[in-house]
Amino acid sequence: MIFDLCTAAKKRSGGGGVVPTGPVRLTLIAALVLLLTGCGPHPGSGAWLADPEPVAGYQRLQVEFDGRAEFFRPGEEAAALRCFWAGDSATSIKMDCISAADDATKFIYSLRVLDDGQGELLLDDKVLGRFRSQEQQPD
């Protein structure tokens, strides 16, 4: 069937093959560029540890690539906050969070990744403290 369509298209175009034009061509070019360049993770994604002590009561922050994030209290395995995040800029994310204990308790945090690779946790544009990526080694 596909062979028949290609053969019919070649006959209509004078035998030289099928070359997409207009919007189809632009769409194919855009898809090819995206395929070749890939999609890298946001610098805010990954596992973060409070540095040097818990920030706002949280020791660990896990930011998943799929748009979810969780805050963990020291010594606890269950998440205290569950969040959805989106990139706010090339170096910062906004997290819309609810408490695991009470879904009426909501927070909107930001995580800003600094030039040194550390992250600042912000609430209402106020810096609460710093997190260090678990990929970084402590000084």
In this predicted model, what pLDDT tens digit does every residue of 30-55 receive, in sequence order? 554 444 445 667 889 899 999 989 99
In this predicted model, what pLDDT tens digit does every residue of 108-132 receive, in sequence order? 999 999 999 899 999 999 999 999 9
Residue from 123, 87, 126 nearest 107 by CA: 123
- Is pTM beyond 0.85? Reply is no
Say what the pLDDT of residue 55 is: 95
On the question of pLDDT at 137 being above 60, the answer is no
In angstroms, rounded to a whole number, what is the distance separating the alpha carbons of residues 132 and 120?
Answer: 9
Task: Please tell me whether the peptide bond between 52 and the residue prior to it is cis, using omega within 30 degrees of 0.
Answer: yes
Confidence of residue 107 (pLDDT cuts 50, 70, 90): very high
On the question of pLDDT at 2 being above 70, the answer is no
Residue from 125, 20, 109, 1 nearest 63 by CA: 109
On the question of pLDDT at 29 being above 90, the answer is no
- Determine the length of the chain: 139
**Residue % of the chain over a pLDDT of 70:** 68
Q: Is the dihedral of CA 47, 36, 87, 27 positive or negative?
A: negative
On the question of pLDDT at 67 being above 70, the answer is yes
